[in-house]
Amino acid sequence: MLRRTILAAVVLTATASSADGAVAAVPSVTVSPTPVAVSTDSTDDEPVCARLKGVEACVGPDGSARPGITVEDTRDDGYHPAVEYYLNGYLGTKYVIHNLARNGEVRGSREIGKTVTFRAALYRGGKRVRYGRWKTVRNVAKYPVKRETRTTPAAARAKSKICTSTKGGATLCFGERPTFVYACDTRADRFQARAEYFIAGDPTARFEIHQLAGTGTCGKAEHGDLAISMYRASLFDGGRRQATRLYKYN
């Protein structure tokens, strides 16, 4: 059943630490645009998929052929497929998995929320050239990732083993066993913080966390027992990279 999902502005009132350690109030922010989604309650073992020419993105339960969220390369061309998604109805953090493997290969993550809003996309290098409609799937994961929206950069650093930052105000922090990654925005400007990383030594799947909710906020991803292998923090203005660090090896 088609249904337009109208989501209100996301208002964050937590406190955040600035780059010099001072504590500042987080202003109210509006996250846009609002995805229009097809809602589906999963009641069987079949995954729900979104397709474009060259890409198939699916969300499925543990017992399905595609557990968690996955993206498959279905065409031998000059593009690579990706799946873009939000978790638990929160638009302040967007996740992207880039499948950099060859035609017929599948990449993804088992760690998803109770609600997953996702779409298929095609990229040439770092530029998105095509994307599909949003779909929302509910009640798929047996042990869904909880919604976490109130972690500040200071709290992320305190919880993590390793952190790296850009001069423009993006911070990436992570810890392992179980593995989690934070992407934090630490400066009040129009730029968005991103975490870009690879896991389990696999160079064919790049994971991204786009933190869209504004200064002093962090987005979190979980990866079970899979260790981070390479990582960097970056800063973007929409789709344009403004600052970054060289990839570091863990």
Distance CA 2, CA 38 (A): 5
Distance CA 169, CA 38 (A): 35
Question: Which range among 4-18, 19-33, 166-180 shows the weakest confidence by mean pLDDT?
Answer: 4-18
Number of Cβ within 10 Å of residue 132's Cβ equals 16
pTM: 0.85
Q: pLDDT confidence of 53, banded at 50, 70, 90? A: very high
C-alpha dihedral, 111 to 172 to 55 to 37, nearest 10°: 70
User: Residue 10 above 80 pLDDT?
Assistant: no
Report pLDDT digits (tens) over 173-227: 999 999 999 999 999 999 999 999 999 999 999 999 999 999 999 999 999 999 9
Residues 65-80: b if buried by 16+ CB within 10 A, e if exposed = ebbbbbbbbbbeeebb
Q: pLDDT confidence of 41, banded at 50, 70, 90? A: low
Report pLDDT digits (tens) over 81-93: 999 999 999 999 9
Dig out the tokens for 215 from the structure. Answer: 């200064």
Please list, in sequence order, all residues whose beta carbon lies within 8 angstroms of the beta carbon of residue 229, skipping any fewer than 6 positions away: 197, 198, 199, 200, 201, 202, 249, 250
Q: What is the largest CA-CA distance in the chain?
A: 51
Query: Mean pLDDT in the chain?
Result: 86
Strands 170-175 and 180-185: antiparallel
Q: pLDDT confidence of 168, banded at 50, 70, 90? A: confident
